[in-house]
Structure 1
């Protein structure tokens, strides 16, 4: 009898398994172009570079419906250099992102190597170059706190346009959980053309005796014919170090493309007063829904020994001026 019942149950088990299969999407970006850098002590250099507007990548993401409005999700994203074929992010297999989690009506909980809430605030709300990371990116002067290892992140549902994003990165140091840990979070509002977000990021040092913290208030307003961006950051530590940053810029549709303009300022509050300002301009021209070409230029004015460089999505740069020209394909 037991064998008979088991035989009857097998088709139902296989049917349920088929219904619960994970839907997996393979995606990626291949981005390459010319980068001309100048202003370095060693002289100007022209490179064929990868990941100028967006880091070249190959990713896998999946979702399994668990019922009751809940789903399991995962994302594995590898970074690579299209100019050489070498792995990015210091050779990590999935150095861009690697996480798994659950989503539902109460929000999303994910675990792994992920973008910090602070970085997403700067990228999505406060920087006109945030989504492309060309030469005029705010991250040339501002702290970005891009990725965090060992991170647990909770993103709430939106209530009246308000959403919270909280994250904890475990330091994984025996005897003291505060050592090397990171704390990050954001609270944002999106309503109609306006987006406003407040973010905070803190990293404790290896002995938990000091920390670096960054607070950022970012906003943008889409008036249709123009989107305006404004951000202000306050940075503290290590020690008595203090600096304030400001980003102002616009995105303008021009013919079939988009023109980006930005001004970034770093105000060093320490006695050495190593201030810096950056001006950036870029133009992106879509050739199709998946492919675009771009050109960008940025220059930094370093003062009192400051040594900030003009980088892009992948490289930190070598000098205080850079020109980008390339092509990006999404698949």
Structure 2
């Protein structure tokens, strides 16, 4: 009996030591609201993507630790997956130490993560910065490195494995013909006191070596923060090239359209009362656009045409507490012509402008 009690006491002691050396945190965001935009019925939407996640670490000694995170993102209004995969958020494991952090798995895409810092609407809501055709919030099959902060400067890099699909048989439903290239990205972010400066470059996997880069900065004076960023995308699309039996002409661009995309964003955040006033102006210029839409076979553009859009956003986030807030957002987008409205809103959208209103609630835990 004494031996049994001693064994139980020892087990409890060592369990306590183990718990002291490792930790797991459950976190998330619950967000939904009402959205009404030109050409659409009233529907439910979000200001931030709803999610639930688990992240943890284990102390390995000598300044090193094991890390992991898995995160699921959902549409809160109907409970469906937000993306095409079950764990659309981060899903990775890694090691951290004096050298920085290395993670393997599904991670945030670096330029998208960095430019969010300069968008008052955090690349979410109806007023977010229009997405580049070569931007992805998260990327899979990736090795990511983040350096320690060097007086506010952090260097980051990723390497992503492609699917090696070039020249595959497009008639096989289980194989997607396409370009074959691995992906990689790098960024430098300086965030110290009132100043934020950043630059990033990215090439997504299997993108026919398409690329994008961005640069920008922000400065804060008391309650006011102004930000400015520029993003350039070179989307090459990819040609069938006669390497599959798809029945598509060799000269036909079958992965959307090829284009050069130049984007500017000017942003403002101002602490006002119990919340924050947000405003932004986005300008996007598409140039050298060519190709067809593979989805419906219809021409979006005449070859080498160009067009632009202007988007204005205004919002107020009212903080009920440190975790819960109400939001109201207005957005107006002016399209130069029908082609660019189709490009960003989908074929069949023929309005030359869009006005949107969004209200809702966010709770963070």
Report deviation, 1:115: 0.6
Contact 2:317 2:326 in 1 (8 A): yes
Contact 2:160 2:184 in 1 (8 A): yes
Q: 2:171 corresponds to which residue?
A: none
Higher relative contact order (CA 8 A, sep 6+): 1
- Distance of aligned partners of 1:205 and 1:287 in 2 relative to their CA distance in 1, 3 Å threshold: same
Corresponding residue SS for 2:330: strand
Greater mean alpha carbon deviation, residues 318-327 or residues 112-121: 318-327
Corresponding residue SS for 2:42: strand
- Distance of aligned partners of 1:238 and 1:253 in 2 relative to their CA distance in 1, 3 Å threshold: same
Q: 1:73 corresponds to which residue?
A: 67
- Of 218, 221, 228 in structure 1, the residue corresponding to residue 219 of structure 2 is 221
- Of 249, 256, 269 in structure 2, the residue corresponding to residue 251 of structure 1 is 269
What are the equivalent positions in structure 2 for 1:61-210 lying under 5 Å apart? 61-90=55-84, 92-124=85-117, 126-130=118-122, 133-140=124-131, 144-173=135-164, 179-205=180-206, 210=208
Corresponding residue SS for 2:113: helix
- Distance of aligned partners of 1:279 and 1:13 in 2 relative to their CA distance in 1, 3 Å threshold: same
Corresponding residue SS for 1:89: coil
Q: Give the number of aligned pairs.
A: 304
Deviations along 1:152-187, whole A, 9 cap, x unmatched? 0000012232210000111142899x9242111101
Is it true that 1:286 corresponds to 2:277 in the alignment? no
Corresponding residue SS for 1:138: coil
Corresponding residue SS for 2:120: coil
Deviations along 1:231-250, whole A, 9 cap, x unmatched? 01111121663221110010
Alpha-carbon distance in 2 for matches of 1:251, 1:310: 27
Greater mean alpha carbon deviation, residues 260-269 or residues 10-19: 10-19
Report deviation, 1:146: 1.1
Alpha-carbon distance in 1 for matches of 2:189, 2:51: 28
- Of 228, 233, 236 in structure 2, the residue corresponding to residue 235 of structure 1 is 233
Greater mean alpha carbon deviation, residues 11-20 or residues 211-220: 11-20
Alpha-carbon distance in 1 for matches of 2:94, 2:111: 20
- Distance of aligned partners of 1:155 and 1:27 in 2 relative to their CA distance in 1, 3 Å threshold: same
- Tell which structure's C-alpha radius of gyration is larger: 2
Greater mean alpha carbon deviation, residues 179-188 or residues 58-67: 179-188
Q: CA RMSD in A?
A: 2.7
Alpha-carbon distance in 2 for matches of 1:175, 1:45: 41
Contact 1:119 1:144 in 2 (8 A): yes
Deviations along 1:255-308, whole A, 9 cap, x unmatched? 111111100011122231121111111110010111000010111111132025
